[in-house]
Amino acid sequence: MEIGTGDLRAHYDLIVVGTGPAGLTLASKYEALTGDKVLVIESGRRSRENNDAQNLSSVHATGDLPSTYYPRHNQRIFGGTSTVWNGWCAVLEKRSFLNNEWPFSYDELYRYYPEVAEILSVPETVHTRPEVAFPGNDNIVYRPYYFSPPVRFNELFEDWVDSNSNVDVLFNHSVTEINIKGSNAASVFMRESSETPTHPIEVFGSRIVLATGGVQNARLLKLSLPKESEYLGLYFCEHPHAYNISSFILDKNIFEQVMDKNVPKIAHAIALSSDYSHEKALISATFEVAGSNEFVNNLLGQSRIIMTGRVNIRAEMSSLESNRVALSNTRKDSLGQPIARVNLRFNSQEIRAAAESLNAELVRSGIGRMSILPKDFRITGGGHMMGTTRMGNNPDTSVTDAQGRVHGVENLYIAGSSLFPAVGAANPTLTIVALSLRLANHLARSK
């Protein structure tokens, strides 16, 4: 239920910071499994924007994306970034697991996707048929994007907030620090999300989960950990997007053998297979074939229906140490804390290499072709901030363990895409929710 600060309990079994897809999925699943007392803290208001809260997402950015970009994709309001999400869904491709960067198997993640599909109201083919090889060439696959309505998590969990007596939800308060005593996170300190300074409030919990996004998870850990991992904040990733960048022609008869015709809302895309991309050391990338027209082509006495249109690219980024989230040395927010300093630069050559390889395979197989990418092309972000608290089995090369627990702190966990040690090209929401279900199950089992 929604509460005020005067209604806070002395102690909670679980404290979740953030009400986006990661935080609400985790809190609701955990409470359903355990019946424990849960506190969920949201920096913004329940139903309307709080500019004072939203300003706390401000960053100082260098690189290819402006400072104004990041707050747009870190919404401080009930439902988090699901309130501005366009609904694109795809499972994380197996390419991300072939270098053993993830600390568990693809199958371990995959088993949560059916439940996620129900939560996000997408067809089961999103996980039962995530990609299909083209006939005659296993190196090229059909890898579409499916669309959630989109599900708004503030609407999905509205009744849950009002009716669940085990869950307290506190709005308009921002966590400023995790109080860590030795190897234990004892409590969180928070203050009202206001330009006017207020006294900090301390609340105690047995376990604490941060679900505040790719930038803010790293920032809050940097503000809290007495000794942080040298990997904290490093390897910040986005999903590079390039729109209307090329043209394509495809044999319609061949394409229709692999495409999903039974889903009305879908973005058709092709890609190099995970195995081929891994073998050739290429990033994962999808090439959406959009706005297609058709014409008939007669070749060697045979009539072929040809599809033609424009290409939109959505790509993976390699993890680079230089792409990072740190704390600003010069700028503070209204609560007196350093804002995040973010550096992110894209690598257009990675995208070009994937495009050239795909085109070579299309031509070799007689399926079609793509035009050469322009010498200079514009890359934009996808609003997907990932990788800054990467998970792994080795504390020397990661920030959390395979469950999302911060190394060196027994009861502090991370949820969301900041955990991704390899990010693929797929939109992350489906996998964010899957990881949250997985963490909820782990926390329930390990009480």
User: The whole model's pTM is what?
Assistant: 0.96
What is d(CA 54, CA 44) in angstroms, rounded to the nearest whole number?
A: 7
What CATH number should be reported for the domain holding residue 132?
3.50.50.60
pLDDT at residue 276 greater than cutoff 90: yes
Q: What is the mean pLDDT of residues 344-353?
A: 97
Per-residue pLDDT of 73-114, as tens digits, reads 999 999 999 999 999 999 999 999 998 999 999 999 999 999
What would the mean pLDDT of 381-387 be, rounded to a whole number?
Answer: 97
User: What does the mean pLDDT of the chain come to?
Assistant: 96
Q: What is the mean pLDDT of residues 414-425?
A: 98
Task: Note down the domain range covering 11.
Answer: 2-445
Q: What is the pLDDT of residues 179-224, one digit of tens each?
A: 999 999 999 999 999 988 789 999 999 999 999 999 999 999 999 9
- In this predicted structure, what is the pLDDT of residue 4? 96
With residue 341 as reference, give the H or E element that holds it: strand 338-344
- The C-alpha atoms of residue 182 and residue 205 are separated, in whole angstroms, by 15
β pairing state of 338-344 and 59-63 = parallel
Instruction: Supply 279's token pair.
Output: 């073998």
Q: With b meaning 16 or more CB within 10 Å and e meaning fewer, what string describes 178-203? A: bebeeeebebbebbbbeeeeeeebeb
Q: What is the pLDDT of residues 301-314, one digit of tens each?
A: 577 899 999 999 99
Quote the percentage of the chain above a pLDDT of 70: 99
Q: Note the pLDDT of residue 154.
A: 98
Report the 10 Å Cβ neighbour count for 273. Answer: 22
User: What distance in Å separates the CA atoms of residue 407 and residue 395, rounded to the nearest whole number?
Assistant: 6
pLDDT band at residue 299, thresholds of 50, 70 and 90?
Answer: low
Give me the number of domains the chain comprises: 1
Residue found by looking up tokens 């309130």 in the block: 83
